[in-house]
């Protein structure tokens, strides 16, 4: 599922191009047959009714595939755009998701949530404040120790969560 999510834009574009080209080819063929039949003196109703049975389901499937892949491509493209991120947008999106449960599956609140500051960002900020003289050396050392301790706690927590997921998957497979 991860590969598909990462490459959704390319997959939707591929399906859109293939279904669009096939739809164009089928409609072009039908148009050519109708034009040829009308040029030969056949009735339009008879020609169209003769083509409707074999080609109408094909055209319907291709139209549906083209529309769905066009919507999927548009949605994937919109998700990749630079979307502003803030806590206010996140809380508004969470309210909308609570109000309309159908929207909850789209992950809108996670998309607009501000990124979590990384340990490296916090360390860079701490160094900048120390060099600028905003904090003294004991404060710098204390905050640095706390930052390093938090990083190791996060690593242990992440390892535990990974192990729990792996154990859960192995128990599902053995069942």
Percent of all residues in the chain with a pLDDT value above 70, rounded to a whole number? 83
For the ranges 25-34, 69-78, 140-149, the lowest mean pLDDT is seen at: 140-149
Report how far residue 138's alpha carbon sits from residue 128's, in angstroms, rounded to the nearest whole number: 15
| Confidence at residue 25, expressed as pLDDT on a 0 to 100 scale | 94
Give residue limits of the domains in the chain: 2-80, 84-115, 116-175
Could you read off the pLDDT of 77-135 as tens digits, one per residue? 887 877 777 888 888 888 888 888 887 777 777 877 887 767 777 788 888 888 888 88
- Look at residue 56 and tell me whether its pLDDT is greater than 80: yes
pTM: 0.48
Q: Match 């279904």 to its residue by tokens.
A: 19
Is the model more confident about 69 or about 141?
69
| Confidence at residue 3, expressed as pLDDT on a 0 to 100 scale | 76
Q: Is the separation of the CB atoms in 123 and 147 below 8 Å?
A: yes
- Look at residue 158 and tell me whether its pLDDT is greater than 70: no
DSSP state of 100: -
Mean pLDDT value of segment 40-64:
82
In terms of Cβ atoms closer than 10 Å to its own Cβ (0-12, 13-18, 19+), residue 123 is: middle
Is the model more confident about 38 or about 62?
62
């Amino acid at each position: 599922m991860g590969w598909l999510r990462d490459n959704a834009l390319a997959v939707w574009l591929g399906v859109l191009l293939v279904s669009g080209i096939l739809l164009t080819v089928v409609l072009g063929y039908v148009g050519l047959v109708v034009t040829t039949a009308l040029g030969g003196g056949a009735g339009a109703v008879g020609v169209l009714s003769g083509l409707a049975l074999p080609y109408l389901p094909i055209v319907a499937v291709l139209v549906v595939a083209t529309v769905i892949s066009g919507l999927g491509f548009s949605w994937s493209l919109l998700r990749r755009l630079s979307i502003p991120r803030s806590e206010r947008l996140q809380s508004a999106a969470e309210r909308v998701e609570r109000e309309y449960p159908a929207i909850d599956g789209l992950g809108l609140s996670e998309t607009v949530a501000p990124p979590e500051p990384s340990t490296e960002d916090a360390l860079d900020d701490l160094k900048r404040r120390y060099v600028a003289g905003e904090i003294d050396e004991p404060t710098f050392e204390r905050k640095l120790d706390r930052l390093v301790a938090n990083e190791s706690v996060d690593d242990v927590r992440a390892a535990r969560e990974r192990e729990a997921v792996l154990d859960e998957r192995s128990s599902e497979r053995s069942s």
